[in-house]
Amino acid sequence: MEIALLHLVIWLPALGALLTMLLGQGTRARGWALAFSGLALLAASWLYIRYDLRASGMQFESSFLWLAPIGSSLRLGVDGVSLPLIFLNCLLTFLAIVISWNLEHRPQLYFMLLLVLETAVSGVFASLDLFVFFLFWELELAPMYLLIGIWGGPRREYAAMKFIIYTVSGSAFMLIGILALYFFTGAGTFDLFRLAQGARALPVATQVLFFVLLYIGFAVKVPIFPFHTWLPDAHVEAPTPVSVLLAGILLKMGGYGLIRLCMTILPDAARVLVPILVTLAVINVLYGAAVALAQINGDLKKMIANSSISHMGYVILGLAALTSTGMEGAVMQMFTHGTITGLLFMMVGLVYDRTHTRMIPDMSGLAPRMPFIATTFVMAGLASLGLPGMNGFIGEFLVFIGSYSVWPIPTILSVFAIVLTAGYILWMLLRVFFGPLMPKWQDLGDATPREVFAVATLLLVIIVVGIYPSSVVDMIATGVQPIARLFA
Amino acid sequence: MPCPYKRMNVDVWLLTPEILLAIWACVVLIVDLAMPSSASRRPLLALSLLGIAGAALASFALLGTNTTSFFGMLIIDNVSVFFKLLFLLAAALVVLASETFTEHGEFTAEFYGLILFCTAALMLMASTNELMSIYLSLETSSLSLALLASWSKRELRSGEAGLKFFVLSAVSSAVLLFGMALFYGVTGRTDLRAISQVLITSSSPAALLAMSMVIAGLGFKIAAVPFQMWTPDVYEGAPTPITAYLSVASKGAGFAVVIRIFEGALLGGAIQPVWMDLFVLLSLLTMTVGNLAALLQRNLKRMLAYSSIAHVGYMLMGLAAATTFGLSSVLFYLLVYAFTNIGAFAVVTVMARYVEGEDLEQYSGLARRAPVLSAILALCLLSLAGLPPLAGFFSKLYLFWAAAERGLYATVTWGVINSAISLYYYTRVIRQMYLAEPATDSPVSVGLAPAVSLAAAALGVLAIGIFASPFIEAARGAALVITR
Amino acid sequence: MALVPVGLHHFLVLGTLLFCIGMYGALSRSNAVGILLSLELMLNGVNVIMVAFAKFIDTPQELAGQVFAIFIITVAAAEAAVGLAIVIGVYRLRNTIQVDQIDLLKG
Amino acid sequence: MELAWLVPALPLAAFAVIGLLTLRYANLSSFINILAIGGSCAIAWMLFFRVLGGEPPFEQEIPWLALNLQTALTFGLRVDPLSAIMIALVTTVSLVIQVYSRGYLYEPAEEGEEHGERHGPATMVRDSGFARYFAFMALFTAAMLGLVLANNLLTIYIFWEGVGLGSYLLIGFWYRKPEAAAAAKKAFVTTRFGDFGFLIGILYLYMQTGTLQFARLAEMAEQGQIGSTVLTVGALLIFCGAVGKSAQFPLHVWLPDAMEGPTPVSALIHAATMVAAGVYLVARALPIFEHAPAAMLVVALIGGFTAIFAASMGLVAYDIKRVLAFSTISQLGYMMLGLGAGAIGAGMFHLFTHAFFKALLFLCAGSVIFMLHRAGAHDPVDRDPLDPPRAQDIRYMGGMWRRAPISAITMTIGALSLAGIPPLAGFWSKDDVLLATYERASQGGGIYWLLLAFALATVLMTAFYMFRVIFMTFAGEHRGPADAQHIRESPAVMTVPLMLLALPSIAAGLWGAPQLGNGFGHFLEGGRFHSSEMSVGLAGLSTLLGAVGIGLAWAMYYRRSLSPETMAARFRPIYLTLYRKYWIDELYMWLIDKFVVAVSFGINWFDQNVIDGIVNGLANAVGAIGNAIRQVQTGRIPAYALAVFLGLTVIALYAIVLHRALG
Amino acid sequence: MTPGDVFTAIAFYLVGATTLVAGIGMVLVRNMVRSALLLVLALGGVALMYVLLSADFLAVVQLLLYIGAIMILMLFAIMLTPGQVDLPSSAPQAQRITSALTALAVGVISLFVVLSHPWRIRAAPLDIVTSERLGSLLMSTYVLPFEIASLLLTIGMIGAIVIARED
């Protein structure tokens, strides 16, 4: 029963996609999509509740031998690292479907792709077999490409192509890394833990090489400087719900890969490479913040996208600390960033739907015309700049406290970004919502109940987790414990 | 009265599929003569399919046989049966897809007949073990393909394609012949098995030159760089079903011969290190040239031609491994490649009725006009790009795997990078179909026969990947026969 | 390689030279029929080699070279027929068989 | 004592209820707010008296944030004399201000405002954000209460940021005014600079000591378990936060701008919340500071300097609220000076009294502004952006003494208290600070003499600028655009709070008066308190200086025997420097514009052109190679045949010659 | 060295030289008809070589099939493409030079190889009349290629007709 639960979470959306494809002509598609993503969300919530906090290690495991010739099994399981992310995935997809409700352009294909995406991402987080992991990883590509490419903005084709080329190039290296692990460990299996055992026997230089191969794949996804330039383009062009998913959950696949594959399988290499990782993390944090700040006269979405780069830098910083607190913070930061940036992109979308512009200088004083949107945008912004009481603070604080003892100077540099973040977020809010209302925006309306529902749900998560972090952190702590122990 | 040939170590039954096919080609021609000239030639399609099905049954019956006949010239083992079935499958799918092409043309019966003849020749190529038979069956297939390529007589490009194919194939086979002559001179044999016994220790310059010439001659057939120059032109100019057939069956036959000669006769010989290295070089060159040239190509058929060159590069990597696994992965690759390529070309064939030429522009917004058709093309292209969980990913994976097992890490890495690059041009087609707005809204209708072909291709692309195990096991079993 | 008696090497050299002359023709002719003619010369070069091997080489496969040569001549005949048919087909559409001008397909 | 959590929880709940449910009901919302703060006020006083009655410190905490499976950071509160005083103070002042706000939060009706030419009284309508205002006020109060009750650095940081949030929301309450929105942002970002240091301080201390509990830290510091370097660095980092929140130099720039919020908000910010938080933090962490003399010196230096520095700017400001703001900065400097001198009692006592009279002063100023608004004061269209709005510009006031006696009297009380005239509250507390500084100086700290001189000079300046305001506002004839006839006293809902606040402004000082046993100090520091003899000389000197200041103001602004204009003209460079606030805002703007933003634009350029340029260039290069390869496909048969033979040649050469040569 | 050898040598050099010269002429002359006739001469020379190589049957086949059938076909083709006979039948000079160099390279490599290789020469060179023997070989040992050749001819016939037929 419980094993089935995880399978339900993963396969329900796929089933939904199939049914949408077969039965969901026109706007009927959205009903199917909503139903199945809702069911998946329910299943994920149930899984979340049933998770045993006293145990560390994998739970809800199941395994089916699948590709006997190469020794790959469909082995699934979750721990405290992956389960929050799976839950986040289900939640964000559900909300993405809610806010796409009135989509008129080719809805059938759209909703089908969203569901496929959901299956792929959940699959990535639940796979314990690297080959299956890779399959799910790649499964996400085509839907994302089409989602950006069909429903995106004016430069959507360029952005979609950039996205896919970057990701595929990255995952090509990752595949080489996975195969290299397979061959050099001689384990004859893709089982994560068996590979991890085998990999420890390898010379450190070899491990470092493999780490780098895997790293490139994940670094593109996170994205880590200098592989990041696809992200702003993809975000700017992607439609709102897709941006939500892209920032909210897809980037997390990279961070997850780093901790689940790189760190778990190749701890010795991780130890060697952390100085570089830390440097990159700091660059990400400050560089992303600086570029976000530079968008103050530009594109709202680009600013948020670059803030994502900055915030994902914290994830890397936390991981590079190689302490349980740092890793916990990194995973928590992934979760919180998923909710916050998801919300931010949702808000940008709501504003854009009304003004049809994303250029910050074109907007001013919108708050009186859309009080709800303004309020929630401000709250999202505050969460993003790490205000305590919102969950963004929890992630950042854990990262800082975990990494400070190991990397004081890089941590201080990263902490400085909280000032920069406050600067650009508040500056942006100021210019968009406050001050005198431009006459041309006189007739804008506020959010519809459907939008209110989506926004409020995310906001609720942000605040509840912010006030009661144990609801997530405790689970994450069980998950990172075995990994951190590798470095103890 | 006992068969006189029994005494002479000749078992005609082993040739049943080829004979059946040849006879059936004649039957098609005769039935055509019997039909009134105004009647629809559609029944001929069914008739041809019947013949192919019969030949396929006959080939199936040979499965598991492992014998030689005709004084060692005919070899029937699982590899040859595999290739026979592969060619028959390609022929069947191409015949099905060609309905659109033949419906307005003349000489429909001759078209089908020639395909059947050609298939028979290719099947012979895959099951001979002797230089003369190889040469003759290769020439037979080349001639019929040259004729088929120039079949659209009012089409400027078709004639040009036929001429190019013909001249270059003749040049190449002259080179191949020189090589065979040298092999004969060095070993005194034309029988591959005997040649291999002599060459086990010899790596004289003459043997090496002979080998080089054979590589050059067969390089034409499989379209390896630098012998690939004809490929884009001919693929573009030839009628699309024939292009599909060229890219799958003819290329497959080329590989069959390469496998017989190199993985069979020359395996373990003194010159093995040389040809292994050569294959690696050719592989690198071929995949790179193919992929880069395809990158900005706007003509869909030409792009697929370059892509097929790139795929030869990948397969050469598997051959360069010179292991059972390498060979079996090449066989598997060919199977998957057959499904995907025929699927892609079938879409182009169907679309020929609706669009002018094959420029990508013509496929704008196809997803709106023909969602299923574009989905199949997209699947095939993504499979060619090697995106999981499609069949193309698995076939490529096994190939790289085999090469990696042999220690060809650099080659594999380069191959993976190439695959990533290749995604760009495959995606461009998908972009055109899904992202661009259609110029017209008129829907595209697909006839029954092409639909069957398309469905089979799509099914293959989807299913072979996910349920790869049995196929891979079968391929491994077949490969064992050769490399043992 | 003595001038006399004439042995295997002499014939091999002759065959090779014929092959290369034909090859030069195939490469430098711009008339399609000219290319076909050159190809015939190449095939004849190979034939000379084949037959020479048949005569001089120590082989259990008696006369294999000659048999091969017969088949090559057969192929050449069929090739000529098919090739000329194609050339005439091209000529009919384009009014030229200059291969330099037959370059609609390229790039 | 177990009810302590209710103190912040009640206002927080009020915030939630108003924010989520009753935003549409203005009156109801304000009542919810007042009820909640009233309730927490009652509890706070109860707790205060329990602590006063000698109950031991009470701590309560729950595990909140698991750092790993073994350890968790806690979320906890502590009721001890320090926090007991603070919660009582905060809730009381806040409650009074809430009540006042119900009257204040009206604005002239919108019609006709566009033209700016209206005269005569305005119809006052309730501000459209009435309910929102009370929600924010509740949040702000709750955050401050949480902050003072926190028992560890993490908890305090959480509420610390909450206070920042509250101030952001309230300063930007009239977000339609660009100045207000900008001021809100400025307040938040500037204090964030301080928080940056504070957060690092928390991380640093946690790494070095393994705990964030104040009690535990104090204990460890006392027992010498923490190295002195650690203490110094930790203390200084924490002090960074205090500098930001308490608007100490050089992070003081946000506070004058924070006047853009509604006046009761300013009252709250300046009196009991927000700015007091910095001082409170230092007081709370004083055990750490005490063992780090260098840090103490820095605190005193910053405090002393800020005191005189801010006071000097107050001398020339025309905005009634801005003068008060500078005075706040200056007084906060005092408190810091007191703390830096090692006298927690002095610093906190000044905080305590200051809360009352500064709240009083602001509410009075608010009352004046309200009256002027109601009387129809409006801004000309071409107002110099450097000038304050007319309703706040003391140059356009005057003569309100008769029309608004309650406001006038209470404000004068507040001003006297601030000027340190005995026996008002301000006198006692200011004297405490001076005394502490004096003692510290006489113990051999040369630099402390200078600080004492600063402090004394500040006394003079404070008295001067406060009475400059009093005289210009209330004395003489009305000079403003408002019709003097229509100026009349504010409603009772506003004046009653004024009167209520006037009482402690007069008398609160007695609790800490040495003559009366300095109950405050004893209560706060318990056994550690050492009462110092009041220095009559010092007290006399400061009183004298205060009187001189008042006299000077009287001479210049009442009797006009000294023309301020002439003075300004004569000392124009000085005047301008002060009036333009030493150009520090301009400097910061320049730094941000020309440095931070320029750098970020530079990085953005780098991102677009170099990083992305490389990527796109690579892609284009690959494409170009592909096209080049396609050039080989000339379509000519001889070329293709040539390729075959060339290929053959190369392969043959490789096979026969090269392969062997290469081994 | 027997007189037979000398006779053979003289015949070889005479015929060989003629063949080569005819071949070279064939690839060089501009007029296609002359080129075809020179090829006939070269092929005739090859036929004589077959005689020297004890391949009497082949010599006959060469004369009949090549010179009789193929060359007639070629001449037909040349005649059927009027206007093409006298056009520059060679490519531009640059291409001719590359072609020559390539041919030279292949020739040098091949000659080096065939001359340096230690061929296993049989003790007694083949010296019989081969026609009959060939016939029986084709019908027994080489029956498979023989069958394939018949398939080839069928295809060539059908295809050539279809392609060459005027619509």
CB-based contact C56:E122 (threshold 8 Å)? yes
Contact with chain C for residue B213, Cβ under 8 A: no
> So what's the pLDDT on residue B208?
92
Which pLDDT band holds residue E105 (cuts at 50, 70, 90)?
very high
Provide the percentage of residues in chain D whose pLDDT is more than 70: 96
Residue range D334-358: mean pLDDT, rounded: 85
Q: Is the peptide bond before A223 cis (omega within 30 degrees of 0)?
A: yes
Q: Is the pLDDT of residue B134 over 50?
A: yes
Contact with chain E for residue B80, Cβ under 8 A: no
**Rounded Cα gap, residues B273 and B26, in angstroms:** 46
Q: Is the pLDDT of residue D86 over 60?
A: yes
Residue range D575-590: mean pLDDT, rounded: 80
- In the structure encoding, which two tokens stand for residue A262, read together? 């790189």
Interface test with B, best of E136, E137, E141, E151 (most B CBs within 10 A): E151
Q: Is the pLDDT of residue D484 over 80?
A: no
CB-based contact A354:A370 (threshold 8 Å)? yes
Better-scored residue on pLDDT, A27 or D158: D158
> So what's the pLDDT on residue A64?
87
**Rounded Cα gap, residues A336 and A315, in angstroms:** 11
CB-based contact A81:A259 (threshold 8 Å)? yes
**Rounded Cα gap, residues D235 and D253, in angstroms:** 23
Residue E95: list chain D partners with CB under 8 A: 638-639, 642
Contact with chain D for residue B164, Cβ under 8 A: yes
Q: List alpha helices for B8-41, DSSP H.
A: 16-34
> So what's the pLDDT on residue B440?
81
Using a CB–CB cut-off of 8 Å, the residues of D that contact E are 638-639, 642, 645-646, 648-649, 652-653, 656
- For residue A434, give the nearest of D69, D181, D601 by CB distance: D181
Distance of CA A132 to the CA centre of its chain: 19
- For residue C105, give the nearest of B153, B157, B170 by CB distance: B157
Residue range D317-336: mean pLDDT, rounded: 86
* B67-69 and B74-76 beta bridge pairing: antiparallel
Strand partners, D58: D79
Dihedrals phi, psi of D386, to nearest 5 degrees? -75, -20
Nearest-CA residue of chain E relative to B25? E155
Contact with chain C for residue B100, Cβ under 8 A: no
Residue range D363-381: mean pLDDT, rounded: 80
In which element (H, E) is residue D72 found? strand D72-79
Q: Say yes or no for a CB contact (<8 Å) between E27 and C62.
A: no
Nearest-CA residue of chain E relative to D654? E109
Largest CA distance in chain E: 64
Residue D643: list chain B partners with CB under 8 A: 226-227, 229
Residue D633: list chain B partners with CB under 8 A: 229, 232-233, 293
- For residue D185, give the nearest of A295, A389, A427 by CB distance: A427
Which chains does chain D touch, 3 or more C-beta pairs < 8 A? A, B, C, E
CB-based contact B258:B319 (threshold 8 Å)? yes
- Report the range of poorest mean pLDDT among B82-91, B308-317, D528-537: D528-537
Terminus-to-terminus CA distance in chain A, angstroms?
Answer: 36
Distance of CA A322 to the CA centre of its chain: 21
Residue range D199-217: mean pLDDT, rounded: 88
- For residue D65, give the nearest of A394, A418, A420 by CB distance: A394
CB-based contact B364:B438 (threshold 8 Å)? yes
Provide the percentage of residues in chain B whose pLDDT is more than 90: 45
Residue C87: list chain B partners with CB under 8 A: 163
> So what's the pLDDT on residue D495?
84
> So what's the pLDDT on residue D115?
42
In order, the DSSP letters of C12-45 are HHHHHHHHHHHHHHHHHB-BHHHHHHHHHHHHHH
**Rounded Cα gap, residues A435 and D131, in angstroms:** 20
> So what's the pLDDT on residue D467?
87
Q: Is the pLDDT of residue B221 over 70?
A: yes
**Rounded Cα gap, residues A124 and A106, in angstroms:** 27
Q: Is the pLDDT of residue D218 over 90?
A: no
CB-based contact A104:A95 (threshold 8 Å)? no
Between positions 106 and 145 of B, the ones with CB within 8 A of E are 106-107, 110, 113-114, 117-118, 120-121, 124, 128, 130, 132-133, 136-137, 139-140, 143-144
Q: Say yes or no for a CB contact (<8 Å) between D175 and A435.
A: yes
> So what's the pLDDT on residue E87?
67
**Rounded Cα gap, residues D168 and D181, in angstroms:** 9
E63 CA: distance to closest CA in chain B (Å): 21
In order, the DSSP letters of A94-144 are HHHHHHTTT--SSHHHHHHHHHHHHHHHHHHHHB-BHHHHHHHHHHTHHHH
Strand partners, D78: D59
Single-letter code of the amino acid located at B389: P
**Rounded Cα gap, residues A78 and A93, in angstroms:** 19
Residue A139: list chain B partners with CB under 8 A: 388-389
Which pLDDT band holds residue D120 (cuts at 50, 70, 90)?
low
Residue A145: list chain B partners with CB under 8 A: 427, 430
> So what's the pLDDT on residue B287?
94
> So what's the pLDDT on residue B184?
92
Compute mean pLDDT per 10 residues along chain A, 488 residues long, and list them: 83 91 83 91 91 84 81 88 92 92 87 92 92 90 89 87 88 87 83 87 89 92 88 90 91 92 90 92 92 89 91 92 91 93 91 87 85 89 89 91 90 90 89 84 84 91 91 90 87
**Rounded Cα gap, residues B39 and B36, in angstroms:** 5
**Rounded Cα gap, residues B458 and B464, in angstroms:** 10
Dihedrals phi, psi of D126, to nearest 5 degrees? -65, 135
Which chains does chain B touch, 3 or more C-beta pairs < 8 A? A, C, D, E
> So what's the pLDDT on residue E86?
67
CB-based contact A470:D65 (threshold 8 Å)? yes
Largest CA distance in chain B: 72
- In the structure encoding, which two tokens stand for residue B84, read together? 């026979």
Q: Say yes or no for a CB contact (<8 Å) between C90 and B136.
A: no
> So what's the pLDDT on residue D118?
45
> So what's the pLDDT on residue A441?
81
Q: Please calculate the CA angle A46-A49-A55 and round it to the nearest 5 degrees.
A: 130
Residue range D638-658: mean pLDDT, rounded: 91
Contact with chain D for residue C26, Cβ under 8 A: yes
Mean pLDDT of chain D: 84
Strand partners, D62: D75
Residue contacts between B and E (CB atoms, under 8 Å): 92
Between positions 181 and 200 of B, the ones with CB within 8 A of E are 182, 185-186, 188
How many Cβ atoms are within 10 Å of D112's Cβ, its own excluded?
Answer: 12
CB-based contact A437:A368 (threshold 8 Å)? yes
Which pLDDT band holds residue D470 (cuts at 50, 70, 90)?
confident
* D58-66 and B67-69 beta bridge pairing: unpaired
Q: Is the pLDDT of residue D112 over 60?
A: no
Q: Is the pLDDT of residue B97 over 80?
A: yes
Which pLDDT band holds residue D494 (cuts at 50, 70, 90)?
confident
Terminus-to-terminus CA distance in chain C, angstroms?
Answer: 48
In order, the DSSP letters of B34-46 are HS-TTS-SHHHHH
B444 Cβ contact list (under 8 Å, min separation 6) = B350, B351, B354, B366, B369, B370, B373
Q: Is the pLDDT of residue D117 over 50?
A: no
Sign of CA dihedral A131, A136, A139, A141: negative
**Rounded Cα gap, residues B101 and B111, in angstroms:** 10
Nearest-CA residue of chain B relative to E140? B8
Range from B126-140, B345-359, D615-629 that averages highest in pLDDT: B126-140
pLDDT digits over D500-509, tens only?
888 888 888 8
> So what's the pLDDT on residue D55?
83
* A72-78 and A59-67 beta bridge pairing: antiparallel
Nearest to B131 by CA among B120, B123, B139: B139
Contact with chain D for residue A430, Cβ under 8 A: yes
In which element (H, E) is residue B67 found? strand B67-69
Q: Is the pLDDT of residue E88 over 70?
A: no
Residue A382: list chain D partners with CB under 8 A: 165
Q: Is the pLDDT of residue B3 over 60?
A: no
A47 CA: distance to closest CA in chain D (Å): 21
Mean pLDDT of chain E: 85
**Rounded Cα gap, residues A303 and A114, in angstroms:** 25
Q: Is the pLDDT of residue D233 over 80?
A: yes
Residue range E45-68: mean pLDDT, rounded: 88
> So what's the pLDDT on residue B200?
82
- In the structure encoding, which two tokens stand for residue D348, read together? 């906190």
In this structure, what is the dihedral angle of CA atoms A103, A106, A111, A113, given to the nearest 10 degrees? -130
Q: Is the pLDDT of residue E114 over 80?
A: yes
**Rounded Cα gap, residues A145 and E84, in angstroms:** 55
Residue E113: list chain D partners with CB under 8 A: 656
Which pLDDT band holds residue D50 (cuts at 50, 70, 90)?
confident
Contact with chain B for residue C46, Cβ under 8 A: yes
Provide the percentage of residues in chain E whose pLDDT is more than 70: 92
- In the structure encoding, which two tokens stand for residue D547, read together? 């009187």
Residue B167: list chain C partners with CB under 8 A: 26, 32, 35-36, 39, 83, 99
**Rounded Cα gap, residues B259 and A237, in angstroms:** 49
DSSP 3-state assignment of D426? helix
Better-scored residue on pLDDT, D376 or A428: A428
> So what's the pLDDT on residue E131?
79
Contact with chain B for residue E111, Cβ under 8 A: no
Q: Is the pLDDT of residue D113 over 50?
A: no
Q: Say yes or no for a CB contact (<8 Å) between C59 and B153.
A: no
Q: Is the pLDDT of residue B2 over 70?
A: no
CB-based contact D256:D392 (threshold 8 Å)? no
- In the structure encoding, which two tokens stand for residue A245, read together? 């998913």
Provide the percentage of residues in chain B whose pLDDT is more than 70: 97
Strand partners, A232: none
CB-based contact C39:C26 (threshold 8 Å)? yes
Residue B171: list chain C partners with CB under 8 A: 26, 39, 42
pLDDT digits over B23-36, tens only?
999 999 899 888 88
> So what's the pLDDT on residue D116?
42
Residue B113: list chain E partners with CB under 8 A: 158
Residue B274: list chain D partners with CB under 8 A: 655, 659
Interface test with A, best of B331, B418, B469, B476 (most A CBs within 10 A): B469
**Rounded Cα gap, residues B307 and E78, in angstroms:** 38
Single-letter code of the amino acid located at E2: T
Single-letter code of the amino acid located at D596: V
Which pLDDT band holds residue B124 (cuts at 50, 70, 90)?
very high
Q: Please calculate the CA angle A434-A437-A439 and round it to the nearest 5 degrees.
A: 160
